[in-house]
Amino acid sequence: MKATLEQIENSSYVPMAKDILRVSKSSYMTYKMCSRQYFWRYVADVPSSPPNDAMIRGTAIHNVMEKGLLEGYDAVEQAAIDNDVVFDSAVDSLTSLIDQIADHFGKLDVVEAEVKHQVYDNFNGAEIIWVGMVDGIIRHPDGGLVLVELKTGNMNLGKLARTRHELCYYNMILKKLGYDEITHFLYIAPDYELLTDREDKLLLEGNKKGKEVWLGNYNGIAILEPLSSRSINAFKKALSKNVSSLILQEYPMNWNEFFCLEWCDFSDSCQDELLGLTGGMFEL
């Protein structure tokens, strides 16, 4: 059920800090990827780096898509101007992909876009508030709902699988709120560049049963796929495991010499601990 204001105020991302554990899509995916990163970000409250250019651009492109979905094609140009991305190639790719999808569906019947949901639940004996905001929800011509997720930057099979897991999270929230059945996921990646020097495995997704693939005018790809029971079962298993570990405040380090230094805002904190320069994370 929808969380009350009192329940929201009595929730926290820090286990045991308040009566109710707060779990957003971002916090859950952070813990799933690296529980130690979750500790630094949500428990120790180590400051993150300010948004970089790619993050700022990603937010702007999301804003353009939201306007396009809710207000139609004519709103895209002004949204691009307002968000300072009028000359960004992703805007052209995005509008091209949305046009093709609308043509395939007959029209875009938009249910909502960028609406924040907070759901109170008793999960495996623990009080939890699930938090999520879907990029978009449209209605499929067959009657079910399609969850839409926009991803700027590189897209590959690994990122597609992670995004599928995120959409399963949203599916869980919307199901608890009594939405109509979610039948499809739609991934839109306006920056995707088609591989020409070797087999493009992402493009081959269109050969799988029930899937549809569209390409933008220059760059960009969109993939529509039916929601499978296999995806749901894998998500439920991972969710139960990770939330149980989070409640027990398990934050093991999963250090990688390349990825931690390249992608994580908190690599210095872990590196200091590995080198014995600090007393350990629980002495902060």
Mean pLDDT by 10 residues, the chain (284 residues): 96 96 97 93 84 87 85 82 90 90 92 95 96 96 96 92 97 97 96 81 88 92 96 97 97 84 81 71 52
Give the pLDDT of residue 250: 96
Host H or E run for residue 165: helix 157-176
Cα-to-chain-centroid distance, residue 226: 18
Go through 69-104 and write b for each residue having 16 or more CB atoms within 10 A of its CB, e for each that does not: beeeeebbeebbeebebeebebbbbbbbbbbbbbee
One-letter amino acid at 98 equals I
Task: Give the SS3 label for residue 95.
Answer: helix
One-letter amino acid at 262 equals E
Give the pLDDT of residue 162: 96
Give the pLDDT of residue 217: 85
Give the pLDDT of residue 71: 81
Give the pLDDT of residue 279: 55
The closest alpha carbon to 8, from 124, 117, 133, 118, belongs to 118
Q: Evaluate whether 257 touches 46 at the Cβ level (below 8 Å).
A: no
- What gap in Å lies between CA 84 and CA 76, rounded to an integer? 12
Which tokens sit at 241? 């495991």
Give the pLDDT of residue 207: 87
